Every structure is written in C-alpha cells, then in structure tokens.
Amino acid sequence: MKVARRTFLVALLTLPLAGCGLGLPPAGDYATVNGHVTDAATGRPVQGATVLVNGVLPATTDAAGNFTVTPVPTGAWSYTVTAPNHKKAASTNPPPLTPGEKRDFPIRLSPG
C-alpha cells in the first residue's frame, strides 16, 4: 500500500511538468549555426569572441575564430557578437533557419 501511495504522489507531483515543453518545437525542428569570426582590419581570427544566438544561446570562438551553436530553434533568429577591443556586431534580419539546416556564416568585427 505504501508503494502505491508513493507512486501516486510522485505521479501527481510530476504531472504538471509534463506540459512544460508544449511551446517548444518538435525535436527535429532545430538547426545548427556555425561561424568564423575575424578582425575586419587584419583578417585574423578573433579568439574568445562571445556569440549569442536568439539572446540566450551562447558560444565562444576558439583559437581559429570558429564557433558552433546547436540546437537553434528554426525560423527567425538573431545574433550578437562581442569581443575585447572590437565593436559589437549584430544581425540585420538573417534568413530564417530550416529544420536540420547547418548554417555557416562569416562575421567580421571592426576594431574599436
């Protein structure tokens, strides 16, 4: 009887959590965003730049200036890139992402 009561209580308490993901796209509706950040003046990679996709999905560039953000919900998206001694770069309405897409794009940061 104790096991049945405990199982019932656990189920009752976790039931509200079952609907928490209702606003998320299905698992297959995600894309990957890859990029390469360079200094606009020198063309050299920018290591340690912070890339923020949709305001909440972060990545940091490696020594070669590369980054990857995944999973990114499909549809409209945005990004900002910041790095020490460089001006901030932000998206200007990039094309929407499609399910399963792997979007590659270069980012050039101006010194500043």
Q: Which residue has the tokens 């770069």?
A: 89
- Indicate yes or no: pTM above 0.75: no
Contacts of residue 61, defined as CB under 8 A and 6 or more positions apart, other chains included, come to 37, 45, 46, 47, 48, 49, 51, 67, 83
pLDDT in tens, 9-66: 455 454 454 444 445 455 579 999 999 999 999 999 999 999 999 999 999 999 999 9
* pLDDT at position 15: 46
* pLDDT at position 93: 84
Using CA atoms, how far residue 97 sits from 23, 29, 34, 35, 62, in Å, is: 18, 9, 12, 14, 24
Using CA atoms, how far residue 91 sits from 12, 76, 95, 107, in Å, is: 44, 11, 10, 10
Domains for the chain: give ranges and CATH numbers. Answer: 22-109 (2.60.40.1120)
SS3 call for 11: helix
Q: Is the pLDDT of residue 7 over 90?
A: no
Radius of gyration of the chain (CA): 20
Q: CA–CA separation, 29 vs 100, rounded Å?
A: 7
Q: Which residue has the tokens 């897409």?
A: 101
